[in-house]
Chain A
Amino acid sequence: MSHLEPERLVLLALGEGTLDQHETGHLDSCERCRADMAELRGVAGLGRRTQPLRDLPPAPSHVWDRIRSELAASERAFPPPAVSLHSDPPPRRLSPPRSSPPCSSPPAAAPPAGSSPAASRAPLEWPAPPPAPVAAAAHPPAASSPPTAAPASPPSTPGELLEPVGGRRRGPGWVATVVIAAGAAVAGAGVTAGVLYDRGPEGRPAPATCRAGDPRVELEALPGAPSGLSGYACLVGAGGDRKLLVHAEGMPARADGDYEAWLLDPASLGVQPLGVLGSGADQELTVPDTLDLARYNVVDISAEPHDGNAAHSGHSVLRGLLP
């Protein structure tokens, strides 16, 4: 009895077509094909769930600082600040930081440019560096870097910081936004976290904001949320004129989606949409007059992709409990 064709197995595992009688009979009796099929189905299942993992945000830069500090305290040898990763154009591939004398063996880390056939979304493409502090300031006190470790051409003006980044727009848009925002902050433009929120000019009147006496709910960042998110909300008004005022900071702009506010009922798993958050840190949202806030007492901010699906995406980033 011949085994099932590998290509046929793959198609079946991907959910194409159905097993015919012969194939069913063969799988019943052939342990090897059965195992292959089970594994390929497993791979297909995992593969289908990799989409959100394709462009993971960079790991937080302040965690990198903590790693360096901890290693500096525990060990003599630790990596010098990667100055060039910030001031140079972001390396497209695993290439040696340009201004890094200590790394004498050229990068071996550098794969021959043609070695990886993966073209557009190259696996070795490093994410844009987190908006870390500028090189010189990043030298930890215990750094034992040789004197030559000074950057060959340190960024002398914020403009230099900005230019290469702006000139090479690539990768997820919000990364570029963050880096540019960081550059602008260096330039002393008086930028606040609100810039990260900017999603285009808008001429609406300023929304109301929470006042001192309003009962306030702190919104906590949930696992998976971009770091640095924080916010609060408060409920104002009464009867048919209740508003939820939401203040959220540090929300990276999303090219392919929005943030939306909801009220959730933990008991019934009910979900009440309040509306998409516009630009700006402060939002004023109308609470439907029939909504029972004793039940719908969880304030939830979710990241919603532009996928035409109005339901909650399940990707909550901030949440808090109404008093």
Chain B
Amino acid sequence: MAAVTSADDRFAALFQAGDEHALRLAYERFGPAVHHLAARTLSSAADAEDVTQATFVAAWLGRAGFDPARGSLLGWLLGIARRKIVDHLRAAARDDRIAESARRLAFFVPAAAPPEAVVDRLVVADELAQLPGDQRRVLELAFYDDLTHQQIAAVTGLPLGTVKSHLRRGMARLRDRWEVDGVTPGARAAGPSRAR
């Protein structure tokens, strides 16, 4: 899987092998994403923490089931978290107190995000952070500042052709990662177009 960096690969192997530090490192490296996913999709901070805890416990106990060939460790952890979230939501639906609290606080609570969308954003963000510096910068200018490629060239001093090629390669990597680790990758079924 081209999208998974070799460093992450090695780390995943350590995790799988039960290396004692790997879980701690996994918590620091991926805990923020797992906790964010839980916090965005559940209606209380306590539930989000419970899910974060349950995710890492389940991941550690079930680490033998992690297959690096099928995706990154982050993608796997987010998949576990998603199942825990669904369990939690089901349990919450039976809980009148929580239902009441959710009703009262529904306004403006950003919990409307479905877990799938949050997972997709998290894996794309993770890949974006791993792009080579110039590629990442060029994409950030396009995404966050809404600059055209000419404007990006002017801002960065990079030649136009370089900007375009950074955009193309960066987007291709994000897409690959989305396909590997995302929940709802695009219209892939529509045709075999991996060739680039």
A contacts, CB < 8 Å to B = 6-7, 10-11, 13-16, 31-32, 34-36, 38-40, 42-44, 46-51, 53-54, 56-60, 62-64, 66-67, 70-71, 74-75, 77-80, 82, 85, 94, 96-97, 100, 102-103, 105, 107-109, 111-112, 115-124, 126-127, 129, 220-225, 227, 229, 264, 266, 269, 298, 300, 312, 314-316, 319, 321
A71 CA to B54 CA, complexed, in Å: 10
* Cβ 8 A contact of B20, one of A32, A40, A77, A94: A77
B-side interface mostly: helix
A-side interface mostly: loop
CB distance A77 to B18 under 8 Å? yes
A290 CA to B128 CA, complexed, in Å: 48
Q: Does B66 contact A (CB under 8 A)?
A: no
CB distance A222 to B45 under 8 Å? yes
Q: Does B154 contact A (CB under 8 A)?
A: no
**Distance (whole angstroms) from the CB of A8 to the closest CB of chain B:** 9
13 A-B residue pairings within 8 Å (CB atoms):
A14-B142, A32-B192, A49-B121, A71-B57, A109-B14, A115-B7, A116-B130, A220-B44, A223-B40, A223-B45, A314-B110, A319-B105, A321-B104
Q: A6-B168, A50-B125 are in contact. Are A316 and B109 (CB under 8 A)?
A: yes
Chain B residues, Cβ within 8 Å of A6: 168, 196
Chain A residues, Cβ within 8 Å of B131: 117-118
**Distance (whole angstroms) from the CB of B153 to the closest CB of chain A:** 12
CB distance B133 to A119 under 8 Å? yes
CB distance B36 to A56 under 8 Å? yes
Chain B residues, Cβ within 8 Å of A77: 18, 20
B contacts, CB < 8 Å to A = 5-8, 10-11, 13-14, 18-25, 27-29, 31-36, 38-45, 48-49, 52-53, 56-57, 60-61, 101, 104-105, 107-111, 120-122, 124-126, 128-133, 136, 139, 142-144, 146, 148-149, 164-165, 167-168, 171, 174-175, 178, 185-188, 190-193, 196
CB distance B19 to A105 under 8 Å? yes
A70 CA to B23 CA, complexed, in Å: 13
CB distance B178 to A82 under 8 Å? no
CB distance A123 to B148 under 8 Å? no
CB distance B143 to A48 under 8 Å? yes
Chain A residues, Cβ within 8 Å of B22: 79, 109
State the total of A-B contacts with C-beta under 8 angstroms. Answer: 257
Chain B residues, Cβ within 8 Å of A121: 129, 136
CB-CB nearest in chain B for A49? B121
A75 CA to B7 CA, complexed, in Å: 28
CB-CB nearest in chain A for B151? A16
CB distance B32 to A58 under 8 Å? yes
* Cβ 8 A contact of B175, one of A43, A51, A78, A225: A43
A30 CA to B183 CA, complexed, in Å: 26
CB-CB nearest in chain B for A271? B108
CB distance B108 to A94 under 8 Å? no
CB distance B191 to A43 under 8 Å? no
CB distance A94 to B7 under 8 Å? yes
**Distance (whole angstroms) from the CB of B27 to the closest CB of chain A:** 5
CB distance B136 to A39 under 8 Å? no
CB distance A35 to B187 under 8 Å? yes
CB distance A85 to B28 under 8 Å? yes
Chain A residues, Cβ within 8 Å of B110: 223-224, 314-316
CB-CB nearest in chain A for B129? A123
A271 CA to B129 CA, complexed, in Å: 36
A11 CA to B188 CA, complexed, in Å: 20
**Distance (whole angstroms) from the CB of A207 to the closest CB of chain B:** 26
CB distance B24 to A79 under 8 Å? yes
Task: Give the residue among A48, A123, A319 with the most B Cβ atoms within 10 A.
Answer: A123
CB distance B109 to A223 under 8 Å? yes
CB distance B7 to A116 under 8 Å? yes
* Cβ 8 A contact of B39, one of A50, A78, A103, A223: A223
Chain A residues, Cβ within 8 Å of B24: 64, 79, 82, 85
CB distance B28 to A227 under 8 Å? no
Q: A77-B20, A103-B20 are in contact. Are A35 and B196 (CB under 8 A)?
A: no
The 8 closest A-B pairs by CB, nearest first: A59-B31, A111-B7, A39-B186, A56-B32, A35-B190, A50-B125, A117-B132, A123-B130
CB distance A94 to B56 under 8 Å? no
Chain A residues, Cβ within 8 Å of B126: 123
